[in-house]
Amino acid sequence: MLLLDKNQVESLLQPADAMEAVSEAFALHSEGEGRVFPLVREPLATGGVFGIKSGDVQSQGLLGFKAAGFWPANREVGGEPHQATIMLIDPATGRPVCMIDGNAVTTMRTGAAGGLGLQWLARQDSERLCLFGTGVQARIQLTFALALLPSLKQVQYVTVTGQHDAAFERAFAERCEISHAPDRNAAVAGSDVVITATPGGGALFDLQAVQPGTHLNCVGADTRGKRELPDGLLARARLFVDDRAQARQIGETQWAPDTPCTEIGDVLGGKVQVERHDTDITVFDMTGLALQDLTVARLLQRRAATAQAGTSIHWPW
C-alpha cells in the first residue's frame, strides 16, 4: 500500500492538474458513470463533526472514500480544524492500495471546483470581488479566481473579527488591489463576484446587498444546519450545484430545497447551455463530491509511481 503525506501531495499536485481531475469528476457524475454513495455526516460528543464521502467509477476500476470532518478545538493546540484522509481500494479484492493526506487534496480540489464555477458562471469582465474568510480555503479560492478571471482588479475581504489581516493582504498584494471591508453589505453590493469560505455559522450579509449581475461561489455550507446566504437569495438566483441531492441535504440548498437547480457537470458536458444575462444573479452551491477526491487521488497515485515518491508498505492479507 502506498502512503502519501501532505508534503508529498503538495509537491505532486499542481492547480492545472486539479482542474483537469475535477472536471473529469463532474463529467463522470453527469454521465452517470461515476457513482456517489450516501453521505455520512455526524456530530461527535467531542465537539467535532465526522463524515465519509465515497463512490466509484466501475468502468475505470476506481473505488474509494474520504473520511473527513471539522474539529474546531484543534485551533487551541495549534492544529488544523479540518482533517481528512483518502483511501483508494481495489474494487476486485477490497484491498487498500493507497492512503493519502486528504487535507491538501480537499484544499486544492475545492479551489479547482470554485475556479470552474467562475469560468462557466461568472461574468468574464468581472473586476471586483468580495471574499468572506481569510483561512486556507479562502486563500485557495482567491488564488484560482485571480488566475481564471484576469479582469479581476480589486478584492475586498471580510473577517470574522472585523479587523484587517496583514498576512493575508501581503500574500495577494502583488496580484491585485486588496483591502479589508469594514462594511460587508457595501462590499457585496460593490462586487461582481462574491466568494463565501467560512465555517457557515449564519447569513453573512443582507439580501438587498446582492446586486443584479453578481455571481456567488458558496463553500462553507457542507453540513446540516450550516449556511452563509440570507433567506430569499436562492429564489432570486439561477442556482447551480455539484450534486442535487447532496446540496439539498447539506449545502445552501437545504434552506430552499425546492429551488430549481442545475448540476455543474451538465454545464461542463454541454447538456445545459448557460446563456448569462448581465442582470442574472448566479449561485454555485459547492458541497464537494467524493468523485473529486477520487479522481485527484488516482492522479496522485500515478504521479507518485512515476516519481517514486511516497512510502510503500507491506499490507498482509
At 111-164, the pLDDT tens digits run 999 999 999 999 999 999 999 999 999 999 999 999 999 999 999 999 999 999
Q: What is the mean pLDDT of residues 256-283?
A: 96
Whether 282 contacts 216, CB under 8 Å: yes
Q: What is the mean pLDDT of residues 272-301?
A: 96
Q: What percent of the chain has pLDDT over 90?
A: 99
Topology of the domain covering 111-288: Rossmann fold (3.40.50)
294 Cβ neighbours under 8 A, 6+ residues apart: 25, 34, 55, 56, 57, 62, 63, 64, 86, 88
Q: In this structure, what C-alpha cell is assigned to residue 245?
A: 441531492
Task: Assign domain 2-105+291-312 to its CATH superfamily.
Answer: ornithine cyclodeaminase, domain 1 (3.30.1780.10)
Is the alpha carbon torsion for 252, 172, 300, 6 positive or negative? Answer: negative
Which of helix, strand or coil describes residue 168?
helix
- Name the band, by pLDDT with cuts 50, 70 and 90, for residue 206: very high
Choose among 113, 105, 92, 50: nearest CA to 304: 105
C-alpha angle 267-271-274 in degrees, rounded to nearest 5: 45
Task: Give the pLDDT score at 283.
Answer: 98
- Domain extents in the chain: 2-105+291-312, 111-288
The crossing angle, in degrees rounded to 10, of helices 102-121 and 290-307 is 120
pLDDT one-digit tens code per residue, 29-76: 999 999 999 999 999 999 999 999 999 999 999 999 999 999 999 989
Burial of 7 (0-12, 13-18, 19+ CB in 10 A): exposed
As a whole number, the mean pLDDT across the chain is 96
Task: Give the pLDDT score at 317.
Answer: 87
Q: What are phi and psi of 29, to 5 degrees?
A: -65, -45
Chain centroid offset of residue 26 CA: 13
Task: Give the pLDDT score at 8.
Answer: 97
* Number of CB atoms found within 10 A of residue 153's CB: 14
Task: Give the pLDDT score at 292.
Answer: 98
pTM: 0.94
Burial of 50 (0-12, 13-18, 19+ CB in 10 A): middle
